[in-house]
Amino acid sequence: MHFFSSVTPPDTITQSAYWCIFRRDAILVRQTDAAIELPMLVSPCEIGLTTIRTQYLGTLHDTPCYSAEILPDDTAPEGMTFNGLRELFYALPEDLYRLAGRAFLIMDWDRTHQYCGRCGHPTEQVATERAKRCPRCELTVYPRISPAMITAVIKDRQILLAHAHRMPTGMHSVLAGFVEAGETFEECVRREVMEEVGIEVTDIQYFGSQPWPFPNSLMVAFTAKYAGGEIRIDPAEILCADWYSAENLPTIPGPFSIARRLIDWFVAEQSKNNP
């Protein structure tokens, strides 16, 4: 990605920067015939927008990057629109999408931590790190990151895929769930799989991770082997679940989601083991 994180902005802004400008939870993008782009500006004032708050993020490919929040009734400049991050998942290049996700997390943390959660006094930005501090009681808060596990469960030559209520019609994916307080990732994998589909797993192996800005998750991916039990779905979470071979997959998530990376890994392993 070639992103360098920093909280110290340039002394003067003389070059165009990536600006991730949010109206509520939607980000401003420029739409052209060729692509959807983040605006490159010296300042949002160039396009008639006044920011409520801004945060310097760092540099992407040596280009400065900022997040900004504007008033909820501001309109998009000509040739631009406000879009939700989910709508842009496959529209923006991966490096710009990850920048937008980082910007949203920091913007949302900034706007929801203007006051101390312990004593109610206005907070102040810490100059040397991404933190806010209460000058009255000295409580320091950092951007919230909510870890969640996502797991590919393998049984013989099949992978467990489920269709959850939140998914588009027909879409199936691997199982996921948030880590509870005091829980290890491995304990979370075992609990979530048991809760959602009623089976036991073993041989839990770390696979990778992906920031997930909805609004502040970190998806931590694992593989696991089936250890016992029959599929019994939790109807509050899952509509259906089943075992699928690499040759007979249902509709699955699109490229560069970590869910898709897990499924692609499973397919590649089956091809490698059975050429």
Binding residues for substrate, as ranges, are: 86, 129, 142, 210-217, 259
Annotated binding site: 86, 116, 119, 129, 134, 137, 142, 176, 192, 196, 210-217, 237, 259
Annotated binding site for Zn(2+): 116, 119, 134, 137
Side-chain-side CA neighbours of residue 25 (13 Å): 11
Report in angstroms the alpha-carbon separations of 103 from 7, 22, 26, 182: 12, 9, 11, 28
Euclidean distance between CA atoms 175 and 165, whole angstroms:
12
H or E, element range at 29: strand 26-31
192, 176 contact by CB (below 8 A) = yes
Euclidean distance between CA atoms 46 and 43, whole angstroms:
6
Give, as one character, the DSSP assignment of residue 12. S
The helix/strand/coil state of 217 is: strand
Give bridge partners of residue 112 from the DSSP assignment: none
Annotated binding site for a divalent metal cation: 176, 192, 196, 237
The helix/strand/coil state of 51 is: strand
